[in-house]
Amino acid sequence: MSRAPIGRPPEILLVEDNLDDARITIQALKHEDIRCRVSLVRDGEEALRFLRREGVFAKTPEPDVILLDMELPKKDGQQVLCEIRGDERLQSIPVLVLTASAVHRAVLQSQNLHVDGFMTKPVSLDQFIQAVKLLRRSRLSELLLPLDLPQE
């Protein structure tokens, strides 16, 4: 018997202002053959408009997972996370913080902001692929339900 996923692929909101980092993230997801849809926004204000489905984002899907960079223009990742956790409609969405700094973990924990995971931005594609493998096991695999189907 094979285990085939049913349902829709998970929606991932990638909040990242650095296009090189965004490209590496998306490449790593494709490399790992993670069946998902990625939406990219490039600053904190745009992320909140996307999540609240405001303006041009009125018809966007609600993400199943948010990959949130901490160093963002307009509103930084910490401010975005505070607003997500303070919004009853958004607070249950898992947030994985992408950061190049270990300082962010301590700051977010000291402020009691619930984060579902931290991923230090790796400097190489290989390191990033390893981080995505952990993400796949911890979150993305939970979003696609396996179904045992008889093989023909």
Domain with residue 114: its CATH number is 3.40.50.2300
Does residue 73 fall inside a structural domain? yes
| Domain presence at residue 60 | yes
- Would 1 be classed as within a structural domain? no
Q: Give the pTM.
A: 0.75
- What is the percent of the chain with per-residue pLDDT over 90, rounded to a whole number? 32
Q: What is the pLDDT of residue 100?
A: 67
Report yes or no on 146 lying in a domain: no
Low-confidence ranges of the chain (pLDDT < 50): 1-4, 123, 144-152
Enumerate residues 6+ apart whose C-beta is below 8 A from 66. 12, 13, 15, 47, 51, 84, 93, 94, 95, 96
- Asked if residue 4 is part of any domain, the answer here is no
**Residues sharing a CB contact under 8 Å with residue 5, sequence separation 6 or more, in sequence order:** 35, 144, 145, 146, 147
Q: How many domains does the chain have?
A: 1
- The answer as to whether 3 is a domain residue is no
